[in-house]
């Protein structure tokens, strides 16, 4: 049994006071995430090696019913038509849901089911998104400042990061557009379908 914990996001610095873990991703670790290989390689050439997204989280214990609460920061950027994004995952325990709450910037939670449904919900400060169980999810920064969210999921949910790569990417891409929102969904021609994939 753990003790109650006070957590305080520092939105300006992208930190979570009271967190117990930190996870970082650099551009060099994201090969294959973006469709435009040439744009990715040229971005790598001018990359400074700093993290492009990171997560600070509090996981006080692992017992059933425990929560992991954290802050996720995704820096703005573009690789070809696509906006900066996280790798995305489905929870290893597929039925586990997750809450995301916008703290800064402007992003999209792109969500897809194995049987082909899609949902894309824009998150700005003060907006919460309930990602139900069974939905693959990824954050995308469609703005020009860091996209910061507070999240909460059951600690035993686990993450399966392979499902997206094995399917040739998510079914939808979030790409720059002339629309008022500045982004739109486009079918990913490389997507093979999640259900055909032999897991």
To Fe ion, the closest distance from the beta carbon of 198 in angstroms equals: 23
d(CA 146, CA 51): 12
Smallest gap, in angstroms, from Cβ of residue 83 to Fe ion? 19
82: contact with Fe ion by CB under 5 A = no
- Dist CA 190 CA 165 (whole Å): 10
Give the three-class secondary structure for 11.
Answer: coil
Closest to Fe ion by CB, 9 vs 40, is: 9
Q: Could you tell me the smallest distance in angstroms from the CB atom of residue 88 to Fe ion? A: 9
CB burial readout 1-35, b (16+ within 10 A) else e: eeeeeeeebeeeebbbeebeeeeebebeebeebbb
Shortest-Cβ-distance residue relative to Fe ion: 98
Between 13 and 128, whose beta carbon lies closer to Fe ion?
Answer: 128
Least Å from the CB of residue 123 to Fe ion: 14
In whole angstroms, the minimum distance from the beta carbon of 96 to Fe ion comes to: 8
Q: Closest distance between Fe ion and the C-beta of residue 139, in Å?
A: 10
**Among the residue ranges 48-56, 57-65, 91-99, 115-123, the one whose residues contact Fe ion (CB under 5 A):** 91-99
The 96-135 site mask, x for binding Fe ion (CB under 5 A), equals --x-------------------------------------
Cα separation, 171 vs 112, in Å, equals: 8
How many chain residues touch Fe ion (CB under 5 A)?
1
Residue environment code for 124-149, b if the CB has 16+ CB neighbours within 10 A, otherwise e: eeeeebebeebbbbbbbbbbeebbbb
When the beta carbons of 82 and 98 are compared against Fe ion, the nearer one is 98
Tell me whether residue 44 or residue 99 sits nearer to Fe ion (CB atom): 99
Backbone angles phi, psi at 84, to 5 degrees: -55, 135
Residue number with CB closer to Fe ion (76 or 158): 158
Q: Which is nearer to Fe ion, 40 or 100 (CB)?
A: 100
Contact yes or no for 174/183 (Cβ under 8 A): yes
Q: Which residues, other chains included, contact 198 with Cβ-Cβ below 8 Å and sequence gap of 6+?
A: none
Binding site for Fe ion (CB under 5 A): 98
């Amino acid at each position: 049994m753990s003790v109650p914990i006070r957590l305080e996001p520092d939105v300006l610095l992208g930190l979570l006071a009271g967190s117990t873990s930190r996870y970082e991703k650099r551009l060099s670790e994201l090969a294959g995430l973006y469709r435009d290989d040439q744009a990715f390689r040229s971005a790598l050439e001018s990359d400074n090696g700093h993290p492009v997204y990171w997560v600070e989280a509090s996981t006080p214990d692992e017992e059933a019913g425990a929560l992991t609460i954290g802050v996720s920061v995704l820096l703005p950027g573009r690789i070809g038509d696509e906006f900066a994004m996280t790798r995305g995952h489905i929870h290893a325990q597929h039925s586990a849901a997750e809450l995301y709450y916008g703290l800064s910037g402007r992003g999209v939670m792109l969500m897809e089911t194995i049987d082909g449904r899609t949902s894309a919900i824009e998150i700005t400060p003060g907006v919460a998104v309930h990602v139900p169980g069974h939905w693959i999810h990824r954050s995308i920064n469609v703005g020009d400042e860091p996209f910061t969210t507070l999240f909460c999921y059951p600690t035993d949910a686990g993450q399966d990061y392979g499902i997206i790569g094995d399917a040739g990417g998510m079914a939808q891409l979030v790409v720059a557009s002339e629309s008022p929102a500045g982004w739109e969904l486009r079918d990913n021609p490389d997507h093979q379908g999640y259900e055909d994939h032999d897991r």
